[in-house]
Amino acid sequence: MNSKSKYLYIGIFLSGLLLSESVNADKLNIDTLLINGQVYTGTSDQPQALDIAICGSEICGLFPSQNNQITAKNIIDATGKIVSPGFIDPHTHTLAELYSKDKNHNLNYLTQGVTTVVNGNDGEGPVDIVNTAKKLEANGIGTNVALLVGHGSIREQVMGRAQRFASKAELNEMSTLLSTAMQAGALGLSTGLYYVPGSFANTEEVVTLAKVASKYNGIYDTHLRDESTFNIGFIAALEEAINIAKMADIHLHLAHIKALGVDVWGQSKMAIEKIETAQAKGVSISADQYPWLASGTKLHSAVMPKWVMADSQHAFFERLNDKSLAQQLYSEIKENIRRRGGPESLLITAFKDTELVGLNLAQIAHKRAIDPVSASIQLVQEGEVRVASFNMSEADVENFMRQPWVVTSSDGTNGHPRKYASFAQKYQKYVQEKSILTLAQFINQSSSKTADILNIKDRGKLQEGFKADIIIFEASKFKANANFATWNKYSSGIDYVFVNGELVISESNYLNKLAGKFVR
């Protein structure tokens, strides 16, 4: 059996994916028909020979290829190309662009094949989901967007950046805000327990709020309290997250899973064992991951002790310049720099002084004739500094990537190529070059599995009645062009992109259409 016949046979055999026999395709008002492609439905492990019909915003049929009976207003011939569900990125920081008038197309994601992005991760983002969704849709957005509710945002709204546990009254107020957000369509609760002010919360506070999200079938998405040895340690932080999920009876989703820093390299094996043991006992757990060896964050988050940043920026800067704290600060900052691989591993990726962008902390310290700790203290007071922190081992990245419960994400931030190229990078390096994943695994873990984790019911699969978020690309041409020297270059190779049934990229050209919607 040749490959063409094989695909046709598979397409006919899997009748559950096809239109019911009672439906006459000729009577459908088909806007666009995608023909002759190698179709990955988001759940299949092999390509299928199917033609896909789009009616309005939805997929209205899948038919065996070479069915010449079907007519449509527009036909796209995908011969020799992959047809896939649009990818879903469960961890982005794209609200600033989506609110803007010049980058709200989210083209850096569309050119990666991403048609839906999630915001509100790491405990951040808006608390008022209703007004946020209204503003985004009124503004026009290039991708669909879904929202998590940030624990840090709720906490700051109720009690500022106070370095203490919440009172019962404050917890009640936070619970009310979260309930309102969940009713408005939020996906769940996110925490950034490594970051201020989330780092000041105890486990009980998070459990109380996770129980609220659970009532609405939401998820618990968390940036762990520690991915290294900054406070309680990576494995202990993972255990805390699992215990929260158990006590709140909620699905646990581990944001950008990693073993960060030389102290915890090799702990991916132990982490996977703990997760799988918990899963075997009935705890629902998943994770996402970006395919880079460098993480990205703000310099103050990377190396400054959390206690220094409490209360306000004014208080933060006062402590940095308090001579009575100088010895303690120096010691703790020096140790945090060591944990991240030393000053050479901290690359400045975004800063108002553009002459320093592209230099590492060691180089800046040398340039200023001071030590790296003193350079850090100076820099964080001069403006927001973003850094790429080269602190992961390839073996750990690959161990996590092989797990069927780990999906693709970007955690995209300015200065880091992950914002422009994570999905293309994962495909190019780990599917094509290293064969860590098959093409089907990569697609499924970038689409349907992500939708299932987030409880998004009508996206992520090529299935009748689902929203027509569809991409078409040539396997040999999909590639990342961004790197740490030039972080903001669009990926290439995505030929066609449909968002809610509307063609927004055609023959690799953006059509200036804003077809995205708020996803509840």
Q: Is the pLDDT of residue 19 over 90?
A: no
Which residue, 62, 80, 98, sits at the end of a domain? Answer: 80
Domain coverage including residue 107: 87-293+392-451
Tens digits of residue pLDDT in 227-286 = 999 999 999 999 999 999 999 999 999 999 999 999 999 999 999 999 999 999 999 999
pLDDT score recorded for residue 10? 38
For residue 400, is it within any domain?
Answer: yes
E-assigned strands of 290-377?
A: 294-298, 346-350
User: Which tokens is 451 given?
Assistant: 């939708």
Same domain, 241 and 142: yes
- Give the CA distances from residue 84 to residues 490, 496, 507, in Å, rounded to whole numbers and listed in that order: 20, 10, 16
Same domain, 203 and 351: no
Which residue, 369, 390, 411, sits at the end of a domain? Answer: 390
C-alpha span between 409 and 355 (Å, rounded): 30
Same domain, 442 and 378: no
Tens digits of residue pLDDT in 226-236 = 999 999 999 99
For the segment 501-517, the average pLDDT, to the nearest whole number, is 98
pLDDT score recorded for residue 178? 98
Same domain, 219 and 256: yes
Same domain, 283 and 411: yes
Strand pairing of 406-408 and 494-499?
Answer: unpaired
- Phi then psi for residue 144, to 5 deg, are -70, 155
- Give the CA distances from residue 8 to residues 36, 38, 46, 72, in Å, rounded to whole numbers and listed in that order: 10, 10, 12, 21
Q: Is the pLDDT of residue 25 over 90?
A: no
- pLDDT classification of 14: cutoffs 50, 70, 90: very low
**Whole-number percent of the chain with pLDDT over 70:** 94
pLDDT score recorded for residue 15? 38
For the segment 287-302, the average pLDDT, to the nearest whole number, is 94
pLDDT score recorded for residue 18? 44
- Phi then psi for residue 486, to 5 deg, are -130, 90
Tens digits of residue pLDDT in 135-148 = 999 999 999 999 99
Same domain, 263 and 396: yes
- Give the CA distances from residue 446 to residues 4, 401, 422, in Å, rounded to whole numbers and listed in that order: 26, 12, 11
- The number of folded domains in the chain is 3
E-assigned strands of 448-499?
A: 470-473, 494-499
Which residue, 375, 390, 405, sits at the end of a domain? Answer: 390
Q: Is the pLDDT of residue 5 over 70?
A: no
For the segment 23-37, the average pLDDT, to the nearest whole number, is 82
Same domain, 151 and 239: yes
Same domain, 447 and 378: no
